[in-house]
């Protein structure tokens, strides 16, 4: 499935660290976030995170 999307890079068998590093290297925006297979985001997750960021609040989320 990932092969049908040119913007998705599938990294097989190198662990999550390699995937995170590839994502960081490929990022070109001001913000970066990751969504793992066991994460669940509500519809407004990115909107809320962006608002918090621009109001200079530090938020650490962990599951």
* pLDDT tens digits, one per residue of 1-54: 666 777 777 777 788 888 888 888 888 887 788 888 898 889 998 888 888 777
* pLDDT tens digits, one per residue of 41-62: 899 988 888 887 777 666 666 6
**CA pair distance 40, 21, nearest whole angstrom:** 22
**CA pair distance 11, 45, nearest whole angstrom:** 25
Compute CA 40 distance to the chain's CA centroid, rounded to the nearest angstrom.
Answer: 12
**CA pair distance 31, 2, nearest whole angstrom:** 23
pLDDT at position 46: 87
The pTM of this model reads 0.54
pLDDT at position 2: 60
């Amino acid at each position: 499935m990932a092969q049908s999307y040119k913007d998705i890079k599938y990294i097989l068998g190198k662990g999550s660290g390699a995937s995170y590093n590839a994502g960081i290297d490929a990022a070109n925006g001001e913000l970066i976030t990751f969504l793992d297979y066991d994460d669940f985001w509500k519809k407004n997750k990115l909107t809320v995170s962006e608002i918090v960021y621009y109001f200079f609040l530090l938020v650490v989320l962990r599951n």
